[in-house]
Chains A and B, each alone.
Chain A
């Protein structure tokens, strides 16, 4: 029965021209979320208030002192299709940021984050007649894609009062996908294997606005939005497609009424379908919601340091569907925040279990570990 299902599924998608071996890598790739390790640890709940996340430009006002931030987030992914399983390890460096307060009210931030990561590799064996019709040969097709679209943001935030923060961001989206496609034949004395490689580059612009308001010492609200401009794709000097960067809107709230704890929630909407016109093979992009809740509580004191413990959950729709179906991702996250060198640096850690589904038969689980290091020089 399982084999029958697999056969039917193969037949159903046989018209697709491309594929990247994982639900999360469909289309232009996986959206990392542009969240810092701290924001990830709360399921994204504090993202709109987090100075190191690339979500709301207003949030950089909260940095307090000049800061440099660097994040490493490897993902250990497991894809199960029927009885077949693929395990991968993807090393991502999704974020680097620098924030500089300027005077009492202004803060400048420059940061770069992975927007859509398409790194993946597949190998498929096909049996083809090569030569005489009866000479069936196992041809191995290897398809390797490396690269991502990155979001570089220059943000300026203004905080006229302690209750209000406003920020503006200018975004440059750029990056490339290096593609290597090989057809490997088994007997080099008889057949010639082929390899072709290419590079697709992307460029686009966007602008963002963020607003943060704290009506009381225990309550906070945030709104942010990013308006996307055109995103162009080209190979060498040839334009191969264009679309619009997705508009993004989010709203968040935090509650700090419980001593030592911050409870946060966030809902965001991404208009990913605006990227659908880039696809040459009809891969469908879906608009989707991104909802997360989390808590950050003061934990135990270890080596004279107060450890912050975080936890949260998140559910979102990934941009690109599989076989016409939306790909949904549910995540449960836990994390720690550890101050270092008398608060001049801090280390944030988050571990996220993300399960992704798109209809029946294909399951994907990813464990994403995030290590963030913030230094105030």
Chain B
């Protein structure tokens, strides 16, 4: 190859390399800031408003049994809960190994398998778990009628457990005779559990709504080569409401609940679960003409030392989507949408200022007029219905104005895009 040809090709290669290298633009000259690029945006304006015009505590109306877990508790004078599991459909026949289907005439090793949240166990044990026959023709939602059946003549069995027995899966053995009798009578097996212990005890158990239902297991023959029968919980009542019946396959009944929050205080969580509905009156010029970069609801927390005061409750703010036509706050508080993936972490026993971040609500409020979408949010426990913990706050009706809820808004104004 001639030298001249080599030079030309080298030059062409270098030019090609340079062209390719310069095709990927990098315009960022931030290294020269701030001298060559002073701030364009203005300062963030921070204002605190007495913007809360209405607040109240409402019940979570998701329905009995809709919780994702069951609470079995015996916490002295503060909390006493039972759990009910319905097996309204029991098998009458089974298929022995290598034999045709046959009627069930014996029941052996009957137990109900419970999935336990071992991280949520309260109490060191030992524990006595009593199983009662709670089948009744009384109203499905009558707690009093159910609780009345937790009596000695309805006792099916008692299982004694120590702390070491409480694994992820717990088997509570129940009377084989009771199960057989229900099968042969074509009756429903509805079991109510109660826990007794010398210490304050609370167990969180998986439910059908949480995807881990309690299961009934028994053998219809002593022959161990035949698989045991597994029965899922089923509720056939109320027959006119399939959704309610589905929820009632397993549910928690409150025999004794914590005392309610004092009048005028707002309560989040608890048993039965409650939410706080808060409506605001925010100046239109802030919502419409500025960009809200942060909005913080400032609440005064009232100490609630009754149950696990140092445990953590995760409070989630949600946007109320119900229009002005829904005048009942309890109903409006059920029509909500998420505005935050983050939660405020509070302890029921603490007191003082609590901040709830809710800036993303303004993005939605900006697109809707107040007469279409009221400026309202709710506060709920992230584990609503799964924990009895309750957090309390001062309301807008508090006699001390300093303790009432306030809204702190941080906003920026639109920067005029102009010729420099």
- Contact partner, B19, options A19, A362, A371, Cβ 8 Å: A371
CB under 8 Å from chain A, chain B span 18-33: 18-19, 21-33
Instruction: Report 13 cross-chain contacts, Cβ distance below 8 Å, ordered by A residue.
Output: A17-B40, A18-B420, A86-B28, A128-B43, A129-B46, A133-B46, A141-B40, A192-B291, A240-B419, A281-B419, A303-B5, A305-B8, A371-B19
A235 touches B (CB below 8 Å): yes
Task: Give, as a whole number of angstroms, the nearest-CB distance from A127 to chain B.
Answer: 11
- Given A90-B25, A121-B27, A302-B4, A189 and B357 contact (CB-CB distance below 8 Å): yes
Contact across chains for B38 and A196 when beta carbons are under 8 A apart: no
A123 touches B (CB below 8 Å): yes
- Of B31, B415, B420, the most chain A CB neighbours within 10 A belong to B420
A122 touches B (CB below 8 Å): yes
B296 touches A (CB below 8 Å): yes
Which residues of chain A are within 8 angstroms of B15 by Cβ–Cβ distance? 349, 371
Contact across chains for B417 and A122 when beta carbons are under 8 A apart: no
Which residues of chain B are within 8 angstroms of A130 by Cβ–Cβ distance? 44, 46, 293-294, 410
| Complex Cα gap A369–B15 (Å) | 9
Contact across chains for B29 and A77 when beta carbons are under 8 A apart: yes
B37 touches A (CB below 8 Å): yes
| Complex Cα gap A280–B40 (Å) | 13
Contact across chains for B418 and A240 when beta carbons are under 8 A apart: yes
B360 touches A (CB below 8 Å): yes
| Complex Cα gap A361–B36 (Å) | 11
CB under 8 Å from chain B, chain A span 171-196: 179, 181, 183, 185, 189-194, 196
Number of A-B contacts (CB under 8 A): 219
Task: Give, as a whole number of angstroms, the nearest-CB distance from B416 to chain A.
Answer: 8
A257 touches B (CB below 8 Å): no
Q: Which residue of B lies closest to A279 (CB)?
A: B419
Task: Give, as a whole number of angstroms, the nearest-CB distance from B296 to chain A.
Answer: 6
B41 touches A (CB below 8 Å): yes
Task: Give, as a whole number of angstroms, the nearest-CB distance from B191 to chain A.
Answer: 43
Given A17-B38, A369-B18, 13 more contacts at CB 8 Å?
A9-B35, A21-B29, A74-B23, A89-B22, A90-B27, A124-B39, A128-B43, A185-B294, A189-B340, A200-B417, A241-B418, A336-B11, A338-B8
| Complex Cα gap A97–B37 (Å) | 35
| Complex Cα gap A369–B2 (Å) | 27
Which residues of chain A are within 8 angstroms of B412 by Cβ–Cβ distance? 183, 194
Q: Which residue of A lies closest to B27 (CB)?
A: A121
B116 touches A (CB below 8 Å): no
Contact across chains for B32 and A89 when beta carbons are under 8 A apart: no
Of A23-31, A46-54, A99-107, A308-316, which stretch is located at the interface?
Answer: A23-31
B137 touches A (CB below 8 Å): no
| Complex Cα gap A141–B43 (Å) | 12
A6 touches B (CB below 8 Å): yes
CB under 8 Å from chain B, chain A span 208-226: none
A318-359: CB near B (< 8 Å → 1, else 0) gives 000010000000000000101000000000010000000000
Contact across chains for B26 and A89 when beta carbons are under 8 A apart: yes
Which residues of chain A are within 8 angstroms of B195 by Cβ–Cβ distance? none
B342-366: CB near A (< 8 Å → 1, else 0) gives 1000000000000001011011000
A198 touches B (CB below 8 Å): yes
| Complex Cα gap A9–B41 (Å) | 19
| Complex Cα gap A191–B5 (Å) | 62
B240 touches A (CB below 8 Å): no
Contact across chains for A122 and B33 when beta carbons are under 8 A apart: yes
Task: Give, as a whole number of angstroms, the nearest-CB distance from A347 to chain B.
Answer: 9
| Complex Cα gap A305–B5 (Å) | 10
Q: Which residue of B lies closest to A349 (CB)?
A: B15
- Given A122-B29, A183-B412, A190-B357, A279 and B420 contact (CB-CB distance below 8 Å): yes
Task: Give, as a whole number of angstroms, the nearest-CB distance from B286 to chain A.
Answer: 14
Contact across chains for A123 and B28 when beta carbons are under 8 A apart: yes
- Given A122-B37, A141-B39, A303-B4, A21 and B46 contact (CB-CB distance below 8 Å): no
| Complex Cα gap A21–B417 (Å) | 17
Contact across chains for B26 and A23 when beta carbons are under 8 A apart: no
| Complex Cα gap A371–B32 (Å) | 29
Contact across chains for A88 and B36 when beta carbons are under 8 A apart: no
Contact across chains for A189 and B40 when beta carbons are under 8 A apart: no
| Complex Cα gap A305–B12 (Å) | 14
A111-150: CB near B (< 8 Å → 1, else 0) gives 0000000011111101011111100000101011010000
Which residues of chain B are within 8 angstroms of A87 by Cβ–Cβ distance? 26, 31
